Structure 1
Amino acid sequence: MPASAPPPGGAGDDGLARRSVTTFEVGAQSVANVAPSAVIAFAPASMAASAGNGAWFSFFLAMAAVLAIAYCICVFARRRAGTGSLYAFTRLSLGPAGAFVTGWALLLGAVCIGSGSLAGAGYYTGRALDGIGVSAFTGVTGQVLLDVLLAAIAVRLTIASVRTAARVAATLEVVSIVLIVVVLLAVFVKSDHNLFDADQLTLSGSSLDGIVFAVVLGVLGFVGFEGAASLGAEATDPYRAIPRAVMGSALLAGLLYMFATYAQVVGFGGPDGLVASADPMDELAELSGLGFLKFFLHAGFAASFLAVVMACVTVAARLLFGMAREGVVPARLGRAHPTHKTPSTAIWAVTPFVAIPTVAVIVAGTNGLDATTYIDTIGVFGYMLSYVLVCLAAPLFVRKTGAKALAITWALGLIGAAAMVYVFYRNLWPIPESPLNVLPYIFVGALVVGLAGYGALHLRNPQQAAQAGTFADDAA
Structure 2
Amino acid sequence: MPDHPHPSRKLRLWEALALSVGLMGPTLAMGLNGAGVAATVGKAVPLVFLLGLLGVGLVGYGFWRLTQHFHHAGSVYALAGATIGPRAGFFGGFALLGTYLAFLVCTLAATGVFAHAFLHALGLASTGPWAAVAVVAALGVTLLNSRDTRRTARTLLITEGIGIAAMLVLALVVIGRTGTGSAPRHQSLDLSVFTPGGASFGAVMTATVFAFLSWAGFEACASLGEETDNPRRNIPRALAGSVLLTGVLYLLMMFVQTIGFGTDGKGVKEFAGAESALVALSDDYLGTWFSLVIAFTAVASAFAAALSSSAAAARMVSALARDGFGPAELARTDPVTGAPTRALWLCGALAGALTAVMYGLGTTAFDTYYWYATLGVLCVLVVYAVAGAGVIVFTLSRRGAIPRRELVIPLAGLGYLCFVFYRQSTSQDAPYTYFPWIAAAWCATGLAVVLFAPSLAGRIGARLTSELNGGQGPHQEQSPEPPATDSMKVIS
Amino acid at match of 1:170: L
Q: Helix, strand or coil for the counterpart of 1:248? A: helix
- Residues 1:154 and 2:141 aligned together: yes
Displacement after TM superposition at 1:235 (Å): 5.9
C-alpha spacing 1:452/1:203, structure 2 compared with 1 (3 Å): closer
Report the counterpart of residue 208 of structure 2 in structure 1. Answer: 215
Task: State the alpha-carbon separation in 2 of the partners of residues 101 and 425 from structure 1.
Answer: 20
Task: State the alpha-carbon separation in 1 of the partners of residues 87 and 103 from structure 2.
Answer: 24
Task: Decide whether the 8 Å contact of 1:52 with 1:271 is kept in 2.
Answer: no
Displacement after TM superposition at 1:368 (Å): 0.6
- Residues 1:257 and 2:245 aligned together: no
Report the counterpart of residue 303 of structure 2 in structure 1. Answer: 306
Task: State the alpha-carbon separation in 1 of the partners of residues 257 and 460 from structure 2.
Answer: 53
Q: Helix, strand or coil for the counterpart of 2:173? A: helix
Q: Residues 288-335 of structure 1: CA distance to partner in whole angstroms, max 9, x if unpaired? A: 242332222222222221121122223323434555666666666555
Select which of 49, 58, 65 maps to 2:48: 58
Displacement after TM superposition at 1:268 (Å): 3.4
Task: State the alpha-carbon separation in 1 of the partners of residues 6 and 323 from structure 2.
Answer: 18
Select which of 111, 114, 117 maps to 2:107: 117
Select which of 262, 268, 290 maps to 1:275: 268
Amino acid at match of 2:91: V
**TM-score where L is the length of structure 2:** 0.81
Report the counterpart of residue 376 of structure 1 in structure 2. Answer: 373
C-alpha spacing 1:282/1:388, structure 2 compared with 1 (3 Å): same
Report the counterpart of residue 359 of structure 2 in structure 1. Answer: 362
Amino acid at match of 1:68: L
Task: Decide whether the 8 Å contact of 1:82 with 1:88 is kept in 2.
Answer: no
Q: Residues 138-164 of structure 1: CA distance to partner in whole angstroms, max 9, x if unpaired? A: 32xxx3332222123323333433533
Q: Residues 60-108 of structure 1: CA distance to partner in whole angstroms, max 9, x if unpaired? A: 2211211222221233333335686111111123222221111111111
Q: Helix, strand or coil for the counterpart of 1:437? A: coil
Q: Residues 422-444 of structure 1: CA distance to partner in whole angstroms, max 9, x if unpaired? A: 111111112422x2222222222
- Residues 1:15 and 2:3 aligned together: yes
Select which of 237, 240, 251 maps to 1:247: 240
Report the counterpart of residue 175 of structure 1 in structure 2. Answer: 162
Displacement after TM superposition at 1:448 (Å): 3.3
Which moved further from structure 2: 85-94 or 366-375?
85-94
Select which of 125, 129, 132 maps to 2:122: 132
- Residues 1:458 and 2:484 aligned together: no
Structure 1 alignment gaps of length 5 or more: 1-12
Root-mean-square deviation (CA, aligned residues, Å) is 3.4
Report the counterpart of residue 442 of structure 2 in structure 1. Answer: 446
Task: State the alpha-carbon separation in 1 of the partners of residues 6 and 70 from structure 2.
Answer: 15
C-alpha spacing 1:18/1:87, structure 2 compared with 1 (3 Å): farther
Task: State the alpha-carbon separation in 1 of the partners of residues 457 and 437 from structure 2.
Answer: 30
Select which of 57, 64, 68 maps to 1:78: 68
Task: Decide whether the 8 Å contact of 1:19 with 1:237 is kept in 2.
Answer: no
Task: State the alpha-carbon separation in 1 of the partners of residues 260 and 464 from structure 2.
Answer: 51
Task: State the alpha-carbon separation in 2 of the partners of residues 17 and 354 from structure 1.
Answer: 33
Report the counterpart of residue 184 of structure 2 in structure 1. Answer: none
Q: Residues 416-467 of structure 1: CA distance to partner in whole angstroms, max 9, x if unpaired? A: 211111111111112422x222222222233333444555543679766765
**TM-score where L is the length of structure 1:** 0.83
Q: Residues 164-205 of structure 1: CA distance to partner in whole angstroms, max 9, x if unpaired? A: 344233223222222222222111222245897453467777
C-alpha spacing 1:86/1:258, structure 2 compared with 1 (3 Å): same
- Residues 1:227 and 2:223 aligned together: no
Task: State the alpha-carbon separation in 2 of the partners of residues 52 and 169 from structure 1.
Answer: 33
Amino acid at match of 2:114: Y
Task: State the alpha-carbon separation in 1 of the partners of residues 40 and 127 from structure 2.
Answer: 34
Task: State the alpha-carbon separation in 1 of the partners of residues 426 and 244 from structure 2.
Answer: 29
- Residues 1:95 and 2:85 aligned together: yes
Which moved further from structure 2: 442-451 or 254-263?
442-451
Displacement after TM superposition at 1:110 (Å): 1.3
Percent identity over the alignment is: 25
Q: Helix, strand or coil for the counterpart of 1:374? A: helix
Amino acid at match of 1:373: Y
Amino acid at match of 1:92: A
Which moved further from structure 2: 168-177 or 373-382?
168-177
Structure 2 alignment gaps of length 5 or more: 182-187, 470-474, 478-492
Which moved further from structure 2: 207-216 or 368-377?
207-216
Task: State the alpha-carbon separation in 2 of the partners of residues 189 and 466 from structure 1.
Answer: 55
Task: State the alpha-carbon separation in 1 of the partners of residues 34 and 368 from structure 2.
Answer: 19
1:372-451 mapped onto 2 (5 Å cutoff): 372-407=369-404, 409-433=406-430, 435-451=431-447
Task: Decide whether the 8 Å contact of 1:326 with 1:471 is kept in 2.
Answer: no
Which moved further from structure 2: 240-249 or 194-203?
194-203
Displacement after TM superposition at 1:234 (Å): 6.2
Task: State the alpha-carbon separation in 1 of the partners of residues 465 and 4 from structure 2.
Answer: 18
Which moved further from structure 2: 69-78 or 316-325?
316-325
Task: State the alpha-carbon separation in 1 of the partners of residues 252 and 408 from structure 2.
Answer: 28
Task: State the alpha-carbon separation in 2 of the partners of residues 364 and 126 from structure 1.
Answer: 19
